[in-house]
Amino acid sequence: MIYLDNSATTRVMDNAAQAAYTAMTENYANPASVYRFAVDADRAVEAARSNLARALGAQPGEIVYTSCATESNNLAVFGVANVHRGRRRRFITTQVEHPSVFETFRALDAMGQDVVFLGSNPDGTVRTDQLASALNENTVLVSIMHVNNEVGAINDLGQIAGIISRYAPNAVFHSDGVQAFAKLPFEPVPVDLYSISGHKFNAPKGVGALMIRQRVRIGKGLLGGSQERGIRSGTLNTPGILAMDAAIRYYFDNGSAIRAKLLQCKQRLMNLLLAQLNDVHVNGPDLSAAAPNILNLSFLGVQGEVLLHALEEYGICVSTGSACSQKKNQTSNRVLEAMGLSNERARSALRISLGMFNEVAEMDTVAAAIVENVNRLRKIGH
Ligand code: PLP
């Protein structure tokens, strides 16, 4: 099998799986208990927290562990909204967010809040001109994703933070960093809230985090035993947290080599396809401006979904978009349409997302299978 759906999820790396196994079978104490066995578990979690904080340019006390990025995003948006409950405030996001952000803003809209969905540039980055005009003194939250999960467009968080502090200095800035974290070099994130998810970078499913700067006022997510500064109660998922830490440490040491390989794979695949097929369009930014792991292509005249299933027969796994929207059988693609792509181009889109286990040599096999099937499907009119 050649797995090219790494934006949906990834294979767990061995050292992360090993860390989870050890935490489940040996170091399994509840870190909130008080005997030495539990203190060891607590120490391990706190060391992991420090590593994650270092990766984000944050303080360890600013990290709240969650079960996934959907939870982190919900906590960020509703957490800020709860602080302002009872007042009509402005909340700003974009039309190209992942559903875990997009739907929370739609819910705020339905509750009567003043919600603005910013448009997208043709390459999938946010319209910063629209942001500047939407910000006002009533704005309490801006949520703009770091890397777009469908096309790999990278938003310049520093530039956006500058616009926010100029026009609405009291607004909280959240960014969904799921497709950026460990895919781009680790750098301090110039935001107030930042979401990540373990299973997108070779850690297991069921663990994520929300970075919450100390100065941010935020409502509680889960009520209970007051873990995680009381913001997110619940026994800590030590196997998940320690596995995610093992993956982060691996990316600290090997991230630039992994990124270089991803870029080589992407470049090779693109070159092979563009050389052998007509009417292929890259959706999203140019290679040099995009995340190294995501390639979104439209093969005009061929439905993305039909091509996806044809490639499945060759043991090649790709997607037509976000895994969450595919299952809903949506024929339209909100993100590609917001970028201004025609219906025809959106319907023929295929998302190829690379991961650390892919090899450059695999790209020749993938390109050959795509070329063969695109030619065949074009002939029979699919
Ligand atoms: N945000 C983005 C950009 C994503 O790509 C995803 C997953 O596809 C999520 C959020 C949701 O992450 P999780 O599966 O951890 O809830």
**For residue 288, how many other CB atoms are within 10 A of its CB?**
7
pLDDT tens, residue by residue, 217-271? 999 999 999 999 999 999 999 999 999 999 999 999 999 999 999 999 999 999 9
**Which of the residues 68, 265, 317, 324 is marked catalytic?**
324
* Dist. CA 60–CA 58, nearest whole Å: 7
State if residue 145 touches ligand 1 by the CB under 6 angstroms criterion: yes
State if residue 150 touches ligand 1 by the CB under 6 angstroms criterion: no
Residue to mutate, 10, 154, 179, 335, ligand 1, most ligand atoms under 8 Å from C-beta = 179
Radius of gyration for the chain, computed over Cα atoms and rounded to the nearest angstrom: 21
pLDDT for res 211: 98
Distance 197 CA to ligand 1 centre (A): 7
What pTM did the predictor assign? 0.97
Known active-site residue 265: no
State if residue 221 touches ligand 1 by the CB under 6 angstroms criterion: no
* Dist. CA 236–CA 216, nearest whole Å: 23
**For residue 356, how many other CB atoms are within 10 A of its CB?**
22
pLDDT for res 92: 99
Residue to mutate, 146, 195, 197, 199, ligand 1, most ligand atoms under 8 Å from C-beta = 197
Regions in the chain scoring below 70 on pLDDT: 321-332, 382
